[in-house]
Structure 1
Amino acid sequence: MDPCTYKRYHKHDQDSRQYLDHYFSDKSQMVFGEDALIFPIKSLTNAFAAGHIKGDILLDISHGSLVHHLYSACEFFKHMIVLKIKDRCILELKRWTDKRTGAFHWGHAAKHHADIEGKSHQLEDKEVKVRSAMQHVVKCDLEKENMTKPIVLPPADCIISTLLLEAISKDQDDYIRYLRKFSRLLKPGGHFMLLGCLGETYYTVGRDKFHAFSYSDDFVRKALEGEGFIIDHCKLQKRTAVSDLTDYKAVIFIAAHNKK
């Protein structure tokens, strides 16, 4: 397929449930567990365990209807506000937070978190805390100056962005433009936690291929530093999954804080 014909996440329809099934489920044929679940969970758990990333408000600006990356965060923030650009993703998340029939099963992610934190006996409490903290799911428009207009968000202590920037950016300038827009939602000295895929040009959902902006770890480091961030921690993991659903080369986690 010609890369020019790939769909764009924020401009075309994407089946939110198929996306979760392909890359984040506990199904036997799902081969991305180490890269998409274990690596982010370990990275975030270790970052929060250091004790300096905490506060009142965390903003999550991520791809799809992801939940697994928020299990550690719920222990350190009173409120988690989730921004989504697609109504289908909002419905999928609300189905899970409200414990409705047919909601995506995230129990395997909760178990990974509990095991990594050494708190397997608190598995049920973990899901209750995440649901309780994640009660605000807000529609946003990435092209508006105020992405959540007419809602004005309070400045955040921390932002987590997972797999979104590469899905919405067509090139380096686009990536930096969106990164700048996200960073404006932070308090001075606020933290930015980024999870992404390196060297990715496409990912597949159902029968459709979607565009991904391919970047290196050097590029994303310089992009963050160019927007006034100091990088506190960076970790890369080479791809472990064998699949032609997507072509990323590695996964990256960066924790940084804004020096402005």
Structure 2
Amino acid sequence: MNEFAVYQAFDPLDYLKTYYTVIGSEGDGMLRFLAETFSALPANLRVLEYGGGPTIIGMISAATRAASMDFCDYVDSNRALVQRWLSGDEQDFDWNPFLARALEFEGIEAPTNEQVGERAALMRRVVHNVLPGDIYAMPPAPVEGRYDVVMSHFCLDAVTREKAQWQENIRNLCTLLQPGGTLILSSLREAHFPEEGKRAFPNVYLQEEDVRETLESVGFPAESIRIVSADADNTDRDYTGIILSSSVAL
């Protein structure tokens, strides 16, 4: 079931203050996984980040392998915030600690401010479009052709409470991935958000095996699937951790 309605009142800055004020186990896990994943890929890729929310961290390591990259999200205010950063306006939120941490995972010890600035400049060069997207539409984004890499972080699992619909969301997203392309997904592990109140966001309950089994059922070869988990930053979260996966399409 489509549960997008709750996101009409989504506050991107409140979200960033809640989940991105410090780099904890979740941020470290995601930045490390993306650094490792993109380091193993060739250069000159066409990359799509789908449902990126108000964050840019998915694009940090991706920029090292991208000839071009598009960013897509359903929420207008999320796209506006990301577009401002891409345009050079960094007043909304300080992403530099995340850029520096990603550089560390890429093998740069004690990144300098200059190196952080160079990565930000690279990201701004390779991101060509900031677009709307709706995973319940077909096509799910207003783009032409398919991508070498499609990544979606905490999106496909966050617009439904039903596992069957989450699986269908993955199938829909894969229509944007070319044969032989890489799909990168991040999902919450064992999410249990309340159904009422400020934190009442939809999220399907997932464990690592759910991700593996679904990727195989969609058609990704078992040997191409890599899954890594990271525990939640603290026990106050409405989930126990995050599940990170990469897989290669036939």
TM over 0.5: yes
Quick check: 2:26–2:232 contact (8 Å CA) kept in 1? no
AA at the equivalent of 1:235? V
Structure 1 residues 228 and 130 mapped into 2: Cα distance closer, same or farther (>3 Å)? Answer: same
Quick check: 2:26–2:233 contact (8 Å CA) kept in 1? no
Q: Are 2:196 and 1:238 equivalent residues in the alignment?
A: no
Task: Please give the residue correspondences for 1:26-65 in structure 2 after superposition, counting only pairs within 5 Å.
Answer: 26=22, 33-50=23-40, 52=41, 54-65=43-54
AA at the equivalent of 1:182? L
Displacement after TM superposition at 1:39 (Å): 0.7
My pick for the range that moved more, 79-88 or 54-63, is 54-63
Displacement after TM superposition at 1:165 (Å): 1.5
CA distance in 2, matches of 1:45, 1:91: 26
CA distance in 1, matches of 2:54, 2:31: 16
CA distance in 2, matches of 1:9, 1:46: 35
2:164 aligns with: 173
The structure 1 segments of at least 4 consecutive aligned residues displaced by more than 6 Å after TM superposition are none
2:73 aligns with: 84
TM-score by length of 2: 0.88
Quick check: 1:10–1:168 contact (8 Å CA) kept in 2? no
AA at the equivalent of 1:225? E
Displacement after TM superposition at 1:100 (Å): 2.5
Q: Are 2:104 and 1:115 equivalent residues in the alignment?
A: yes
Give the paired residue count: 241
* Deviation by residue 1:40-88 (Cα, 9 ceiling, x = unmatched): 00011111222x3544310101342111121111000111111110111
Structure 1 residues 47 and 141 mapped into 2: Cα distance closer, same or farther (>3 Å)? Answer: closer
* Deviation by residue 1:112-151 (Cα, 9 ceiling, x = unmatched): 0122223314221111111221231101222221223xx4
Q: Are 2:127 and 1:134 equivalent residues in the alignment?
A: yes
2:147 aligns with: 156
Q: Are 2:64 and 1:75 equivalent residues in the alignment?
A: yes
CA distance in 2, matches of 1:101, 1:66: 12
Query: Could you tell me the percent identity over the aligned residues?
Result: 19
Q: Which SS does the other structure have where 1:72 is aligned?
A: helix
Q: Which SS does the other structure have where 1:210 is aligned?
A: coil
2:84 aligns with: 95
TM-score by length of 1: 0.85
Task: Please give the residue correspondences for 1:197-216 in structure 2 after superposition, counting only pairs within 5 Å.
Answer: 197-202=188-193, 207-216=198-207
Q: Are 2:139 and 1:146 equivalent residues in the alignment?
A: yes
Displacement after TM superposition at 1:207 (Å): 3.6
Quick check: 2:46–2:149 contact (8 Å CA) kept in 1? yes
